[in-house]
């Protein structure tokens, strides 16, 4: 297959590109705007005969149409995705997540190209800490930030284009990813790189907010499974039963890096900070036969720490500017 991967120089997009090259014979064309979160170094080492990079905006209709016309499928990772940034300036989230998704949908509609849309569990809002339930494909949308609202809007656009125009599309909503190539503004790499630099990790509020963690490689294998086997028009939730609260994650990072478990600082909580996310991926596992490989979060985190320790040249250029921005926000 000839795949277009939007946002393929970003965190989960680049992990998917590496996964596809390693596990299939597909050719991948990455379309990425290379905003601050995109990094060409994340695509180093890919074979020239199976990989092409195009710098561009998914809202550029002419460019998107040209690329989609020669493709078999589009896997749409490109998104503005950082909650803190969406609270500071929502407009880029509307431009990319809404207008960009619309532009892609119109192109795949014109050229009858298969489309898979990557989304987030944050569209469902949050759960109480003591709630026994988890998100399912039937959970009503209840987004709480500009980021999650625009992702919810893009999901609904995909559903409408399937129903109204017969676009051959699927959707996946995934829990929080961790692993290689993640920008240091995000929770886990920020704490890891702080400790590696001899600085204390930062924890929002009391740190009791729960996230359902999945290794990016497991997310990649799930998306490839959906692309191959998923039923058109269906939504699949991707999760690896990795619920951990933020306090436990920080303490585990410190422990694995040989530091005291309490060697972190509390900072002001994020406005509207969701309490808990939890994914029920039964549909994906039973209907499509997918299973995660990283079922032990501790082992997956150790591998992630090793990657950041070994790849300081990749993350160091981002670090100072990121921490300066957080410091200005009191975080």
Residues carrying an active site annotation: 121-122, 147
Beta-carbon contacts of 48 under 8 Å, excluding residues fewer than 6 positions away, are none
Cα angle: 214, vertex 122, 102; to 5 degrees: 105
| Cβ pair 284, 149 in contact under 8 A | no
* Residues 6+ positions from 175 with CB-CB distance below 8 Å: 121, 211, 212, 213, 214, 238, 239, 240, 242, 277, 278, 279
Angle between helices 146-165 and 101-111 (to 10 degrees): 20
Beta bridge partners of 2: 27
Q: Which two tokens stand for residue 219?
A: 């997310």
């Amino acid at each position: 297959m000839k795949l277009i991967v939007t946002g393929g120089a970003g965190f989960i997009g680049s992990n998917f590109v590496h996964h596809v090259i390693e596990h299939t014979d597909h050719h991948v064309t990455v379309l990425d705007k290379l905003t601050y979160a995109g990094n060409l170094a994340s695509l180093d080492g890919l074979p020239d005969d199976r990989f092409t990079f195009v710098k561009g905006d998914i809202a550029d209709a002419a460019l998107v149409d040209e690329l989609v016309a020669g493709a078999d499928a589009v896997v749409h990772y490109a998104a503005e995705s950082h909650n803190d940034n969406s609270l500071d300036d929502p407009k880029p989230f509307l431009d990319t997540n809404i207008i960009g998704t619309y532009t892609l949908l119109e192109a795949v509609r014109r050229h009858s190209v298969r489309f898979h849309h990557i989304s987030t569990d944050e569209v469902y809002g949050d759960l109480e800490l003591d709630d026994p339930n988890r998100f399912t494909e039937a959970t009503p949308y209840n987004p709480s930030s500009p980021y999650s609202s625009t992702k919810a809007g893009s999901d609904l656009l995909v559903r409408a284009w399937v129903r109204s125009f017969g676009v051959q599309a699927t959707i996946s909503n995934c829990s929080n990813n961790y692993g290689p190539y993640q920008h240091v503004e995000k929770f886990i790499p920020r704490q890891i790189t702080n400790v590696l630099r001899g600085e204390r990790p930062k924890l929002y509020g009391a740190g009791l907010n729960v996230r359902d963690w999945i290794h990016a490689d497991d997310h990649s294998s799930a998306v490839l499974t959906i692309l191959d086997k998923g039923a058109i028009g269906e939504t699949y939730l991707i999760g690896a039963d990795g619920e951990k609260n933020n306090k436990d994650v920080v303490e585990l990072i410190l422990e694995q890096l040989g530091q005291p478990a309490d060697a972190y600082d509390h900072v002001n909580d994020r406005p509207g900070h969701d309490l808990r996310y939890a994914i029920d991926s039964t549909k994906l596992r039973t209907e499509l036969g997918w299973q995660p490989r990283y079922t032990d979060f501790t082992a997956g985190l150790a591998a992630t720490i090793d990657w950041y320790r070994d790849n300081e040249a990749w993350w160091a250029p981002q670090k100072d500017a990121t921490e300066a921005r957080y410091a200005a926000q009191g975080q």
